[in-house]
Amino acid sequence: MRLKLRIWRQKNAGAEGKFVDYNLDGVSEDSSFLEMLDLLNGHLIDRNEEPVHFDHDCREGICGMCGMVINGIAHGPKAAITTCQLHMREFKDGDSITIEPWRAQPFPVMKDLIVDRTAFDRIIESGGYISVNTGQAPDASVIAVPKTQADRAMDAAACIGCGACVAACPNGSAMLFTSAKLAHLNSLPQGQTERFDRAVLMVNQMDAEGFGGCTNIGECEAVCPKEISLDFIAMMNLDLLRANVMGKGKR
């Protein structure tokens, strides 16, 4: 395959970025999108040029490191996959592909296609945990968890924190991410003790990071590689409203 690539190049967080065009020949349609970029980088290194920097780790669609906006869609044209699971057979010979980093104020570009997503880490730190006593491992199945709740918690816990929801949202909102992290713990018996404090603390941190609000348009859900549902946003909203009625969030 022959491709015309238009890639965002930015030297560092402080530098002005710009799009650079590359022609790439000999791309196998069986290669993944990241392998296609590896091929390009091989040519760039041969020519003594700076390779295109992008985040990646497992390349199995489970770690959440990779992610870029491909032709206007976070993680590319195929639903429910990460960028590393996108294959070149989704494109045609001679296609033009525009590749941009996630765009959001709380996700500053560090270099080329790499953005700083530590804002997500700080949201987790603010309340994405449960307090338990350490010591001997408890016996299995001591706490009964109904199947429906276990399933819901698992659906929420599937979030890999890639940031595609923020990238796809015209408001730069992190509601899908934050609500998934909340719903994961708030659905389980172990999470009930701190449930409403958690809602307040994590929403507080989310707002402090500078993410936008939710307009319920659902673009986040559409691009999410783990198909996290908007239901969790509704659950977070209700928990926050209840937490405020109860005066929760104090530590």
Partner 1 sequence: MQVAVLPRSSIGKKALMAVTGAVWIGYLVLHMWGNLHIFQGAESFNHYAEFLRTVGEPVFSHAQVLWLIRIVIVAALAAHIWSAWDLYLQAQRARSTNYAVKRVVQANYASRFMRIGGVVIILFVLFHLAHYTWGWVTPFDRADPYRNVVIGFSSPVIVLFYLLALAALGLHLFHGVWSMFQTLGLNSRRFDGFFRGLAVFVALVIPIGFATVPLAVLFGILS
Q: Considering the rule CB under 8 A, would residue 131 count as an interface residue with partner 1?
A: no
Q: Considering the rule CB under 8 A, would residue 204 count as an interface residue with partner 1?
A: yes
Binding mask 136-175 for partner 1 (x = CB under 8 A): --------------------------------xxxxxx--
Identify the residue whose tokens are 């908007």: 230
In this complex, which beta carbon is closest to partner 1, that of residue 84 or of residue 119?
119
In this complex, which beta carbon is closest to partner 1, that of residue 32 or of residue 229?
229
Query: Quick one: 135 exposed, middle or buried, by C-beta within 10 A (0-12, 13-18, 19+)?
Result: exposed
Among 100, 128, 176, 187, binds partner 1 (CB under 8 A): 100
Applying the rule CB under 8 A, the residues between 209 and 228 that interact with partner 1 are 210-219, 221-223
With beta carbons less than 8 A apart as the criterion, state whether 220 and 168 touch.
yes
Residues 6+ apart with CB under 8 A from 216: 230, 233
Q: Considering the rule CB under 8 A, would residue 250 count as an interface residue with partner 1?
A: yes
Judged by CB under 8 A, the stretch of 37-45, 51-59, 80-88, 205-213 that binds partner 1 is: 205-213
Q: Count CB-CB contacts under 10 A for residue 111.
A: 20
Alpha-carbon torsion (47, 48, 53, 57), positive or negative: positive
Q: Considering the rule CB under 8 A, would residue 193 count as an interface residue with partner 1?
A: no
Applying the rule CB under 8 A, the residues between 36 and 55 that interact with partner 1 are none
Q: Considering the rule CB under 8 A, would residue 112 count as an interface residue with partner 1?
A: no
Could you give the dihedral angle defined by the CA atoms of residues 123, 124, 127 and 131, in that order, rounded to the nearest 10 degrees? -170
Among 73, 89, 135, 183, binds partner 1 (CB under 8 A): 73
240 phi, psi to nearest 5 deg:
-70, -40
33 phi, psi to nearest 5 deg:
-60, -40
Query: Closest distance between partner 1 and the C-beta of residue 187, in Å?
Result: 12
Query: Closest distance between partner 1 and the C-beta of residue 179, in Å?
Result: 10
In this complex, which beta carbon is closest to partner 1, that of residue 193 or of residue 244?
244
Among 104, 159, 160, 185, binds partner 1 (CB under 8 A): 104
With beta carbons less than 8 A apart as the criterion, state whether 249 and 196 touch.
yes
User: Residue 33: which of 10, 56, 9 has the closest Cα?
Assistant: 56
Element of type H or E holding 155: helix 147-157
Residue ranges binding partner 1 (CB under 8 A): 6, 19, 69, 71-73, 79, 98, 100, 103-106, 168-173, 200-201, 203-204, 207, 210-219, 221-223, 229-231, 233-241, 243-244, 247-251
